[in-house]
Amino acid sequence: MRGVVFLGDRRAEVREFPDPQPGWGEVVVRLKAGGLCGSDLHRYRQDAAQRAGNIIIPGHEPSGLVESLGGGVANVRVGDRVSVYHYRGCGYCKECLGGNLMWCAESRGYGVPIHGSNADLILTDARNCLPLPTELSFAHGAMMACNAGTAFSSMQKLHPVGGETVAIFGQGPVGLAGTLFAKAMGARVVGVEPLAGRRALAHSLGADETIDPNAGDPVKAIHELTRGEGAACSFETSGSGSGVNGAVDCLRLGGRAVFVGKHEDKALAPSQIIGRQLTLMGSFVLPIHMYYEMLRLILERRVPLEAMVTHRFPLEKAQEAFALFDSGKTGKVIFEWA
């Protein structure tokens, strides 16, 4: 099979790898769509010395057709359409049994440390294969594996009700998915994004207002849009210090925020939180069982996830795909197989 390798210094190359063989309880899935995720770019941007000797295939947003089965597999059959949950766990510990495979002590994420989905085939546990109805495309399935799943889990924590205002900092793929889900839940969405193309895409997906943080103070603008009260909720996806602080400072009294963009600086002061009695939450992917809640919302509210996709590439154009995605001038970028 073919698989992508990062060589360092923003170089990607497609190489040949042995086809995976399923063991007991395992499945091989032939990819039909695979998403590029912002977290992939951390490794794409490493220098050649950091990447030396690392030939792990990146990618963790797989969707496709079941190709072959190992022993003991009963939940899927060859030819089934599936979205593949992107962490493999032991299957028996309290975290796995609770659906939080990403917290398992034996957790293995695709792309790190095991081969991921930027390849023709992927090896997974049968329990990671989640049904993809024929009403939804393989592109939907790929996004639901991580990008959309991360946004959905975050919106479930925020739980906007009654037309509450949700401020979403960053309108990259996760922020755009957050915009779609927040609208499907009945919220008013204000998107904060410096890139004009992404602001336009957010508008096309239903954002009620968009703000360019380089053109003025977004916190002030959000307060003006809410008659001085502030947003009920905020969703921080940018990973910037200004985004982290903005997501807190834009909130009304008793507001709530979820953070998924990683930021290493000590950006927040307790004084920003205590007197206003804010609820601040982190969110990391989604528990595997939440896939079914996400699927139901997408089907019942006809959430147009695929409208986020702005660029599609065959695997052999991996270098072009990652270079474009790295520019930030895209919505969702995916690999597709005929």
Q: Is the pTM higher than 0.75?
A: yes
Residue 63 · residue 82 · CB < 8 Å: yes
pLDDT in tens, 100-112: 999 999 999 999 9
CATH architecture of 149-282: 3-Layer(aba) Sandwich (3.40)
Domain spans of the chain?
2-146+288-336, 149-282
Confidence of residue 268 (pLDDT cuts 50, 70, 90): confident
Confidence of residue 269 (pLDDT cuts 50, 70, 90): confident
Class of CATH domain 2-146+288-336: alpha beta
Residue 265 has pLDDT above 80, yes or no: no
Torsion angle, alpha carbons of 302, 303, 308, 314, to 10: -60
Residue 185 · residue 298 · CB < 8 Å: no
Alpha helix segments (H runs only) across the chain: 40-44, 48-51, 94-97, 138-145, 147-158, 173-184, 196-204, 218-225, 241-249, 290-301, 318-326
